[in-house]
Structure 1
């Protein structure tokens, strides 16, 4: 697989002005102007949208490498009460290039059979303490879940000056055009490959989650891999669940994210600063790519920088796609009166609901803001199942 050279990517993404659309784009309109009418149509439209998100915002998902293997370290039964932690290294090869992405699998110390697994990313090892998992029992193991943490920094450096050193750029060379979020999503997909035949993992019950920047990566991972049963972006904000066209209060905008964290996204995406209405996509359509699989966004009403009101709008705008596919009950949102704080409890409650049919607390799906129906005039005539 060969992806457009980076030199071509740095040119303006939209060489000709796009039609300005002030409201959220209609996800049911094909590129040729025809309209989605049923689930079969949506499957084709979904492929169009996947390509748009890759070409415009995140860059193209790198391919599976030619060679892949997993190497397990010594199990740790002491550091996490009630659980066993198994470090691992995913080793990849592409031609003469090699890459190692490290991670760890945490399993309940007791019990048998294959378990659902929550995969998320972050940093661990020789990194600042604020990025490390807090000591103590695993909340996932306590609820009967395996969990996997991936060192995303191995897949793509979270560093504006060194972002293209190592990682997927080392493995595939300068031809790939993806930013860090898509690279991190790629590492989630490779972890699913590596764990597919593990004797304690139920590969049909994969949950992908993450908080803040890693919530953005979780949403991208879920949108581009149908093996992921549940996608839970937490406080993902701009570049995640929040739209670019509707930014409420003093929340992060496209200008902010591409100014400080442009390396998370496809080179050239900053060209849309001040031209957000010309974007051919917006983030509600990224949520829609997950349909009909389970999905929930968690938001904090006091976390104003991540635009929780905008995320509610994206949720409402993705809902018609879920309803077309007969899966309206599989999409949810959860607000808490908190700042930039994730909730493992909400994640596991939603996973128990999806996998075991357990009831959800009433707060799930409850809206906190006005609906802004003017942003989705097309929703009134959206196709239904």
Structure 2
């Protein structure tokens, strides 16, 4: 009878969790009451009142919790083995810019992985600041330039865009150009650096390709419970691109802005939290386990992510599916890890899946860490109206429209960078 009761209770819990996973809340009245974990109180109960305590005590504690419970730690150090320059062209966009295509090669035993990086830099300008971030379909997709190399990595099928059997074709060239206003960025005096995120780790629940197998022990076929999921692997890749950028004499490595949209916005935030060489971070529509507070359970939730994209995060995250209140951290703490560097968070009015209010509240809470550095966090207490950006050391806007990255977003990114970096000479 006892065994029957245990089985029955277990079944009830399973049914209840399953029902919660199938529900999506878009009603503020249905947001549960929640209490956020303390940002400025250590595990031992010590109050964090200055930057010294933050950097020595609380920041490492929080970073470790995110590694163990959400993103997963990188098991080994893997460095660039070789840099192959595929092309250097000095006259792009009618003499406005240079274009460089390089391959970062990683080797271990009999394994080899190549990550193709595309750089556009303003011409005849020394030490330029740059935006660096991944693209979703290959470097060739961000512009219709026929000389950009087609990716040979695995890409999710989309026959309407010319992606068949997980391989791109010429038809897919330039299909994402609306998200990449390259000429406008260059004319503002900034460079743009991108790579296809699938070069580092294909976006599928596989773990047999990409960078993950480089760290496997004999007989291991997937990461351990607290080891890196795909987001952590992609963030690792951004840091390796940063390694390369530090060697480029025409780039100001002290002014590298890491950015990302959607799942790549989650990636940019984790990369900036882990790697303090990134001077600024921009998170565009990153939502759950990006900028938005998990405890609000609004739109996308941890349960939805772990059931739909189980490879994105470490196995330990499954413990918090439909149990967000048990998390030892929340996303305001991730944003706090980026302090005192400038941070810009964005939302969109029709992107309720990413929980715009949760993104704003998270950014607002993170300001407590910025205050330790005597930096202004968000300059407003209430969520601004659509298309009304606010910019302290933390900036935020909610744009009218859908889940996307647009020319409007890019204009604000450039404005925010101009606010915090020394003036960059715009190119006429």
For normalisation by structure 1, the TM-score amounts to 0.81
1:331 offset after TM fit, Å?
A: 1.2
1:191 is matched with: 241
Does structure 1 residue 166 correspond to structure 2 residue 213? no
After TM superposition, the structure 1 = structure 2 runs for residues 135-174 of structure 1, keeping only pairs within 5 Å, are: 137-160=182-205, 162=206, 164-173=207-216, 174=220
1:36 is matched with: 48
The answer to whether the 8 A contact 2:130-2:256 is kept is: yes
1:112 is matched with: 125
1:68 offset after TM fit, Å?
A: 2.8
Q: Per the alignment, in what secondary structure is the counterpart of residue 374 of structure 2?
A: coil
1:275 offset after TM fit, Å?
A: 1.2
After TM superposition, the structure 1 = structure 2 runs for residues 193-342 of structure 1, keeping only pairs within 5 Å, are: 193-248=243-298, 251-328=299-376, 329-342=392-405
Q: Per the alignment, in what secondary structure is the counterpart of residue 296 of structure 2?
A: coil
For normalisation by structure 2, the TM-score amounts to 0.73
Structure 2: 5+ residue stretches without partners: 1-32, 139-149, 156-162, 164-171, 377-391
Q: Per the alignment, in what secondary structure is the counterpart of residue 167 of structure 1?
A: coil
Q: 2 CA distance for matches of 1:275 and 1:260?
A: 17
**Per-residue Cα deviation, 1:63-107 (whole angstroms, up to 9, x for no partner):** 442553321112356775533321111112345543221111111
Q: 1 CA distance for matches of 2:371 and 2:320?
A: 31
Q: 2 CA distance for matches of 1:197 and 1:59?
A: 28
Q: Per the alignment, in what secondary structure is the counterpart of residue 341 of structure 1?
A: coil
- Give the 3 Å change call, closer, same or farther, for CA 62–106 of structure 1 in structure 2: farther
1:91 is matched with: 105
**Structure with the greater alpha carbon radius of gyration:** 2
After TM superposition, the structure 1 = structure 2 runs for residues 343-358 of structure 1, keeping only pairs within 5 Å, are: 343-356=409-422
The answer to whether the 8 A contact 1:86-1:106 is kept is: yes
Q: 2 CA distance for matches of 1:314 and 1:193?
A: 30
Q: 2 CA distance for matches of 1:336 and 1:287?
A: 20
- Matched residue count: 334
- Give the 3 Å change call, closer, same or farther, for CA 237–137 of structure 1 in structure 2: closer
Q: Per the alignment, in what secondary structure is the counterpart of residue 267 of structure 2?
A: helix
2:64 is matched with: 51
Q: 2 CA distance for matches of 1:180 and 1:132?
A: 24
The answer to whether the 8 A contact 1:62-1:183 is kept is: no
The answer to whether the 8 A contact 2:68-2:316 is kept is: no
What is the RMSD computed on CA atoms of the aligned residues? 2.3
